[in-house]
Amino acid sequence: MDILLSGLRAAAEPSRLRLLALCAHAELTVSELVQILGQSQPRVSRHLKLLCEAGLLDRFREGTWAFYRLSGKARCAELARMLIDLIPDDDATLALDLQRLEAVKKANADRAGEYFRRNAEEWDKIRTLHIAEDAVESALAALFPATGMKDFLDIGTGTGRILELIGPRVERGVGIDMSREMLSVARANLQKADLRNCQVRQGDMYQLPFSDDSFDGAVIHQVLHFAEDPAEAIAEAGRALRPGGRLAVVDFAPHNLEMLRDEHAHRRLGFADSEVNHWFELAGLSPDRIVTLDGDPLTVCLWSATRAANDPTTGNASDEQERA
């Protein structure tokens, strides 16, 4: 009863109902909401504060920015969506708000496109060194069930591509990255793909902002070669997995391309199967499939492991290996 009354009181104001509807369509900053509503920042911030206090919206801090989206709490989100559904489809104010929202999304996409253009030469140079991304993505998707996954985590999400790949088959997808520029790109990509069940957050892979047993699946895609402590990153990912959950690591097999270290800040020049499996075991995970995708000169490997359903500290490793 208290949740219902608090939510109804918070939403019972035109501007707050508009904010609620907008945050159901996208993850937005205060400045973006100010631009859409055409109101002052203090006024919009005050409305957002009331909606957050009522549990209808979630607020996530990222440096000097704060992002708002519909609540992740089941009962509050259900109430929020119920209230939004009661707004008439032909409401002129909401229609104008959604038009302005599309303009904001386009501006974000244009900025993301410019970021891609500035960095495309270096990314393309690396991509020519290993197997096509389509093959990697197909192999990665095959490591996870087509249905039945509730929560999925992409560690070092970058452009959000893995969320685009796995997002349609999960209830909630979350991407973590330290780079605000890359998170901006990822948000634009997720908005373009209309993946409202996916979100990205600024966070450290060594200190994930989630409790134990939070995810059914997790991926560390082309991130470990930058890591100061790959074993610790895998251990932290394992901590966040539920019993029975699966972790997939995508990275390079051992190679000798020093230019990746000198020009692209790679700390490690690939990883051996035994090394990654050992880290899995230290994290309480049971190694299973290894998929090797031969490239020239870089070979991409996909290592996967599962957290035991009953005892997260036990499990027998197997050396099943596939070569494509």
| 2-101 and 129-323: identical CATH topology | no
Q: What is the pLDDT of residue 320?
A: 40
What whole-number distance in Å separates Cα of residue 95 and Cα of residue 200? 27
DSSP assignment of 84-153 equals HHTS-TT-HHHHHHHHHHHHHHHHHHHHHHHHHHHHHHHHHHHHTTS--HHHHHHHHHHTS-SS-EEEEE
Computed over every residue of the chain, the mean pLDDT equals: 87
What whole-number distance in Å separates Cα of residue 283 and Cα of residue 247? 11
What whole-number distance in Å separates Cα of residue 84 and Cα of residue 91? 12
| Beta-sheet strand order (sheet of 198-202) | 198-202, 170-177, 149-155, 215-221, 241-252, 300-307, 285-293, 321-323
CATH number given to 129-323 = 3.40.50.150
CATH number given to 2-101 = 1.10.10.10
Helix (H), strand (E) at residue 29: strand 28-29
Tokens of 315: 């499990």
Kindly tell me the sign of the dihedral angle through the C-alpha atoms of 107, 108, 109, 112.
positive
Cis peptide leading into residue 287 (ω within 30°)? no
Q: What is the pLDDT of residue 137?
A: 93
Q: What is the pLDDT of residue 121?
A: 56
DSSP letter assigned to residue 204: B
CA-based nearest residue to 24, from 194, 202, 173, 215: 194
Q: Over pLDDT 90: what percentage of the chain?
A: 58
Decide the pairing of beta strands 300-307 and 170-177.
unpaired
Low-confidence ranges of the chain (pLDDT < 50): 311-324
Supply φ then ψ for residue 274, to 5 degrees: -65, -35
Domain residue spans in the chain? 2-101, 129-323
What are the b/e assignments for 7-33, b being 16+ CB within 10 Å? Answer: beebbeeebbbbbbbbbbbbbbebebb
Asked if residue 194 lies in contact with residue 238, where contact means CB atoms within 8 angstroms, the answer is no
Q: What is the pLDDT of residue 62?
A: 65
| Cβ count within 10 A of residue 174 | 26
Asked if residue 252 lies in contact with residue 283, where contact means CB atoms within 8 angstroms, the answer is no
Helix (H), strand (E) at residue 23: helix 14-25
Q: What is the pLDDT of residue 128?
A: 60
What whole-number distance in Å separates Cα of residue 313 and Cα of residue 161? 32
Q: What is the pLDDT of residue 310?
A: 67
